[in-house]
Amino acid sequence: MARRSHNPSPRSTFHQDLPFHPTARSHSIVESIYSQSQYSESSDSTAASSIDDAHHTLRSLRPGVYVPTVTFFHADTEDVDLETIGKHAVRLAKAGVAGLTTQGSNGEAVHLTHQERKLVTKTTRNALDNAGFHHLPVMVGCGSQSTRETVELCREAMTSGGGYALVLPPSYYKAMYKAESLVEFFEEVADASPIPILIYNYPGAVSGIDIDSDVITKLAKHPNIVGCKLTCGNTGKLGRIASAVDAVSPSTDGSGFMCMGGSADFTLQTLVVGGSGVVCGLGNIAPKACIKVIDLYKTGQLDEAKKLQAVVARGDWAAISGGIVGTKSALQTFYGYGGFARKPLPRPSQQETAKYASGFKELVELEKSLS
């Protein structure tokens, strides 16, 4: 695949904040979708007067660890806890992550209203900027069941300070889709989105839909599709895509396309086959340990990287098996904040809390040794 000069992702441009303007085609599509009064929200006017007038600063993506951040709630009311959201974002930034993601599975996006989603992203962006991390990009989960609402979420992501949209395929009407339906979905969203998008392949969250390497490679040719996240765990697929698109990696700029693993337990495997890094929920608990795996690989210390990867993988199994309930419990146990997930997700019992703590103990001890 030819090197894409339009792509903002190569590491060589990482320290430069680049102006981004939607294409003329996206202008017309977005204007058509949002011309109706039902999408006119006064709260958006303070963020951007319109898609056409917005001068959006695009922070470059670079290889490394991206963390899908947790959304925190007040225990008594379940209202969004903005103070903790901001502090957590800064803690991760100080650890050295390459970027953050809001509105993912760890962020309980399905439990949030549109207004809350915007507030979480805006709080995250403001916290990073106020702490001096202006360069760190924020991806925003924007998947929905219709093309229309997905574009709406992309627009809201931009006006809230998000630089990239992470988009799941729709799945509710899976049985009625034609072979070309998903390709058309991603192309139409990419055409209309005012920010670049990354394809999110997570079969467990979308009724088993598993986007293959041929489809992702085809979609990678779209100028507004700049990466993918593979939570399917298929490193063979990841390797095929990385090779086909000449993905950016810790050692090469390549085309700039970001080919990301979706879990910390195959970070090293992702790098070996040419991937760009990982977007991993485990980074909420142990960002430095996750980053260290990549650093060891970059410096050729493969034996040490393998040993560390094993510890990270054991910790990630605790995160995978406990889900967001376990992750929040571990944050509360080891870092003094975390709270609970929104109902109907359960609150852990004392026995479950102890189990989660035991599962993460080895990894957290490693994390604190890296401080």
**Active site residue ranges:** 229
* 248, 11 contact by CB (below 8 A): yes
CA 90 to the chain's CA centroid: 16
d(CA 99, CA 150): 22
d(CA 349, CA 365): 23
**Contact partners, residue 242, CB within 8 Å, separation at least 6:** 249, 259, 273, 274, 275, 276
Q: Token pair of 164, please?
A: 């990239």
Determine phi and psi for 22, rounding to 5 degrees: -60, 155
* 273, 234 contact by CB (below 8 A): no
Helix %, strand %, coil % of the chain (to 5): 50, 10, 40
**Contact partners, residue 107, CB within 8 Å, separation at least 6:** 68, 69, 70, 71, 101, 120, 141
d(CA 244, CA 255): 10
- What stretch of H or E contains 269? helix 267-272
d(CA 361, CA 367): 10
* CA quadruple 279, 85, 78, 113: dihedral sign: negative
Range list of β-strands (E), the chain: 17-20, 56-59, 64-68, 99-102, 138-141, 164-167, 197-201, 225-230, 258-261, 277-279
Radius of gyration of the chain (CA): 19
Determine phi and psi for 324, rounding to 5 degrees: -65, -30
Amino acid at 4: R
* CA quadruple 28, 34, 40, 44: dihedral sign: negative
